[in-house]
Amino acid sequence: MTKVTKSPARSHLLATLQVEIPDDLLDLALTHRSWSYEHGGVPTNERLEFLGDSILGQAVTVMLYNRYPELGEGDLAKRRASLVSTVALAGIGKTIGLGPFILLGRGEDLTGGRSKASILADTVEALIGATYLGVGADTATALVLRLVEPLIENPDTFGESMDPKTTLQELAATLGAEAPVYEVSESGPDHRKSFVATVTVGTLATATGEGSSKKQAESAAARLAQQLLAPGA
């Protein structure tokens, strides 16, 4: 892989994460497939993302199990889904200012790739995977818990936002609007699908969301539509 020298700006990113990821793994974690395509097929962050997703899920599962002994399996599963969702991870990516550090192809960059929820979420997972390989399991787990802690403390995280499609449907009914209608498209190979969902609420709102599954994409679109219909909600 072409070497990318770590700049003071990248040092700032590492300071924000409170980890010291080795340069080669940091480069890899930040390399989107669009960059790879334009630079001779260099390795991408997708394998690190795969690893980071598993570490994220395990760390959040154990944390919720210990933190909420009164909750049953169903409630724990809903909370975990909320914390590891594309929407949540993209929010984390925006909070830590991740977008400018991602290595994107020119086309992806020009179409706003640095702020796309799916790209931000995938890169956060890749950074978790890189931390695991470069620094160790305990440090990776600690990183996950630091990243999700603000979400746990936010009462909205486990509120209606856990089921955005239902919330949107109820909001539309309250406004006297037509029921939300979803259209979903998919792209990519079978083992690496990406989905884009567009939801339309009558003539009042149209919103688009992305995700690694149909459900994630529809949820992301529903959240945005809800914000358009009820700003500040």
The reply to whether 38 sits in an annotated binding site is no
Please tell me which residue in 53, 108, 210, 218 is annotated as part of the active site: 53
The reply to whether 183 sits in an annotated binding site is no
53 as an active site residue: the answer is yes
Residue 87 to residue 69: CA distance in whole angstroms: 26
The reply to whether 49 sits in an annotated binding site is yes
Three-state DSSP state, 197:
strand
Residue 194 to residue 179: CA distance in whole angstroms: 25
Token representation of residue 223: 């959240």
Token representation of residue 184: 């979903």
Place of tokens 């470069």: 134
Q: What is the DSSP code (8-state) at residue 71?
A: -
Based on C-alpha coordinates, what's the Rg of the chain? 18
Q: Please, what is the end-to-end C-alpha distance for the chain in angstroms?
A: 45
109 as an active site residue: the answer is no
Token representation of residue 160: 């209606």
- 95 CB neighbour count, 10 Å cutoff: 13
Please tell me which residue in 46, 108, 125, 210 is annotated as part of the active site: 125
Q: Would you list which residues are annotated within the binding site for Mg(2+)?
A: 49, 122, 125
Catalytic residues: 53, 125
Q: Would you list which residues are annotated within the binding site?
A: 49, 122, 125
